Amino acid sequence: MFGKRSDGVKIKYEDILVKMTPHFMKYRNDADNQIMHPVRVEDMDAWIKEKSEKEGIVFNYMHCVMATIVRLLATRQRLNRFVVRGAVYQRNSISISLTIKRSLRDEGAESTIKVPFTGEETIYEVKEKIDKAIKDSIEEDNKTQKVIQKLAILPNWLLRFAIGTIKWLDNRNMLPKSIINASPFHTSVYVTYLKSIRCDAVLHHLYNFGTTGIFVAIGKEKYEPVVDFEELKVGKVMNLGITMDERFCDGFYFAKSLRIWNDMFHNLSQLEKPYKITDNTIINQKIKNRRKAVKIEVKKTKKTNKKNHKINKKEMKKNNKEQKREVKDAKKVLKTEKKKAKKDKKLAA
């Protein structure tokens, strides 16, 4: 509310046109730019083969593309922005949403995952997070899927009202953090891995619901004619269908980011080292998260100590009762012995 959101910080405009653009183009679909970007994958294949043979780690194209996206968002922070009601926000975290099919059959159910990143991960750590998220999603419904299922059981009239209410709250920066964290539509980039279903890349639309400003479709690799140093050759190419919301960045920034991203595919060894984040928005959020974690830990410790104190108090009361009972029993025995001794004396007399 009042320009403050849990998932981002309202930015001061660097350019008058950037400030005006969201008002000229109200919806995300009004402002989407699309490009089919071919990527030569020979260098990627060589790197994947090397990791498999030398280290026994199996990477695929999805791991590589996702790792490059994470690194690109960390180095080119303006890409990690979104627009709500004409205002541009800088995200305070990096996340990628992905729709997966639980089984490759016509009737196979789909599942949506949202993987959070810090931006400092190596390609190994990105692979580990993605594989874990996919495995967990296939075995059991994740938080995102549970929210979707709860909404899906509603009748249409009530579902329309629920979605309308969520949109209304989101547009006024009042949507609860728990819903934003679970929503796959409130993410830095939405990815669809079409190679897994043997399909070429498509130019996917952006969703007006949520805050996602970039959509990437990863197509199946294929052989096609390429020009290499003024020579026509047959090259192995993977198409990336990219759709971008142009309201939070200018064309020059997008074009330069695309060139940087393309270079990453030919130098994947650079992603083997962690990256140090310098963006203050993300750093401040990390500090907030750490403070929150410390507060939760302190609260847990206090609760545990209180519980232990109650248990100890009960134990002490119990021990005191037992001690009193023992003293009472001892007094009874002593009294009985005294009576017996007196009786014996009388008998002896």
Residue 329 has pLDDT above 80, yes or no: no
pLDDT in tens, 174-232: 888 888 988 889 999 999 999 888 899 999 999 999 999 999 999 999 999 988 888 89
Please tell me the predicted confidence (pLDDT) of residue 122: 94
Give the residue-averaged pLDDT of 100-127.
82
Pseudo-torsion of CA 331, 333, 338, 341, nearest 10°? -170
Please tell me the predicted confidence (pLDDT) of residue 147: 75
Please tell me the predicted confidence (pLDDT) of residue 242: 95
Pseudo-torsion of CA 73, 75, 79, 80, nearest 10°? 50
* Residue 10, SS3 per DSSP: strand
- The better pLDDT of the pair 9, 303 is held by 9
Please tell me the predicted confidence (pLDDT) of residue 240: 96
Residue 339 has pLDDT above 80, yes or no: no
Please tell me the predicted confidence (pLDDT) of residue 2: 60
Please tell me the predicted confidence (pLDDT) of residue 27: 86
Angle at 73 between CA 70 and CA 74, to 5 degrees: 85
pLDDT in tens, 264-300: 999 999 999 999 887 665 555 555 666 666 677 778 7
Please tell me the predicted confidence (pLDDT) of residue 7: 86
Please tell me the predicted confidence (pLDDT) of residue 326: 78
pLDDT in tens, 120-170: 999 999 999 999 988 888 777 667 777 777 888 888 999 899 889 988 998
Distances 120 to 51, 117, 151, 170, 274 between C-alpha atoms, Å: 21, 8, 35, 29, 5
Written as six digits, the tokens of 93 are 């975290």
Please tell me the predicted confidence (pLDDT) of residue 46: 95
Please tell me the predicted confidence (pLDDT) of residue 213: 92
| Mean pLDDT computed over every residue of the chain | 85
Domain boundaries, the chain: 8-278, 279-349
Class of domain 8-278: alpha beta
Residue 325 has pLDDT above 60, yes or no: yes
- The better pLDDT of the pair 1, 61 is held by 61
pLDDT band at 312 (very low <50, low <70, confident <90, very high): confident
pLDDT in tens, 41-99: 999 999 999 999 999 999 999 999 999 999 999 999 999 999 998 888 999 899 999 98
Predicted TM-score of the model (pTM)? 0.77
Q: Which residues pair with 240 in a beta bridge?
A: 37, 218
CB 213 within 8 A of CB 245: yes
Alpha carbon distance, N-terminus to C-terminus of the chain:
100
Please tell me the predicted confidence (pLDDT) of residue 217: 95
